[in-house]
Amino acid sequence: MVRHLEFAARTKVLAVTLACGLTLAFAVFPNLPIGGPSIDSQPGYDLDRLTVLMEMYGERGRRVHAWASLTLDVLFPVVYATFLAGLVWRCRPARILGWLALLPVAGALFDLVENVQVAAMLFRYPEIGEGQAALASAFTAMKWNVLTATLVVAAAFAAWAAGRLVLDRMCRM
């Protein structure tokens, strides 16, 4: 695992995964012709909210959303987990905090399970049960909670690393 984290922390890998992640998040996903907000962008949902979204999408939008969930939205968690794990690993203030680089991996795993649930609901609509909606929503909530924690850790570690870099340069003057 350490070798994977060392690889993810390389400057070129960080740059490529950041560029790919930003492209997917801000150029690809918002322009998918699904007819409304994506299910997994919601903080949570119930069967009634899902029904509203499914109707908003229409048959074509549901099909596009389902296939995007199984293709592009499988790539996206791999990309953001690689970037965030590499950033946390590279910027960690102490070796003992390296385990926090696994947070984005956990978030990505929740995201992948969520994607399978979302695709299943999109393909099966209108045959969706409350249990399936609740399960998918739970994975969505877990994904967002873990990713929020990851972003806080990554920002704190990056700020610490930047501050250390500035102090090191000032001390050399």
Residue 4, helix vs strand vs coil: helix
| Local confidence band at 170 (pLDDT 50, 70, 90 cut-offs) | confident
Q: What is the pLDDT of residue 166?
A: 85
CB-based burial, 49-68: b 16+ in 10 Å, e otherwise: ebeebbeebeeebbebbbeb
Mean pLDDT of 58-67: 97
Q: What is the pLDDT of residue 75?
A: 98
* Domains in the chain: boundaries: 2-172
